[in-house]
Amino acid sequence: MERRKIFLYTDGASSGNPGPGGFGVVLKCGDLRKELSGGFALTTNNRMELLAVITGLEAIRWERADVEVWSDSTYVVKAVNEGWLRSWEAKGWKKVKNVDLWQRFLAVYRKHNVCLHWLKGHAGHPENERCDALAVAAGAGAAARGEILPADEGFSAG
């Protein structure tokens, strides 16, 4: 049985940096579609952008799935496509922010065949707009509940 390619659309948002924020994910495979989101009362935009990709990849149940990730985050896309991530890992993560999330990303990224693409945010792409709406709503809800994403050494919640 031939498996179809999975399309993963992601976005992260924060109101303030740090501030309340959230992430939104849309997974598509053939006629199937799944949406995921989560939010935190105190986080950063880069953490939410990265967590969106992680959450989407972790939701894939197949091993070695072919996944196209579409993100408006240059931070995430360039870190992978331009080799920054490989260099950070090789140098022992010195002076790198969000190490906890980058290590979690690598663990799930290496389970699949992933290709990352950048797309311009807030430019009318339906899936990106949906991810943005999910992220903003999740961040607003988390702010009301006071939920905080655990910090790494590059970001202090206190």
Catalytic site positions: 11-12, 49, 72, 122, 132
* Ramachandran angles phi, psi of 26, nearest 5°: -125, 120
CA atoms within 13 Å, Cβ hemisphere of 79: 24
Alpha carbons within 13 angstroms on the beta-carbon side of residue 69 total 32
How many other C-beta atoms are found inside a 10 Å radius of the C-beta of residue 59? 14
Structure tokens, 157: 């919640």
How far, in Å, CA of 70 to CA of 53, rounded?
9
Rounded CA separation 7/30 (Å): 9
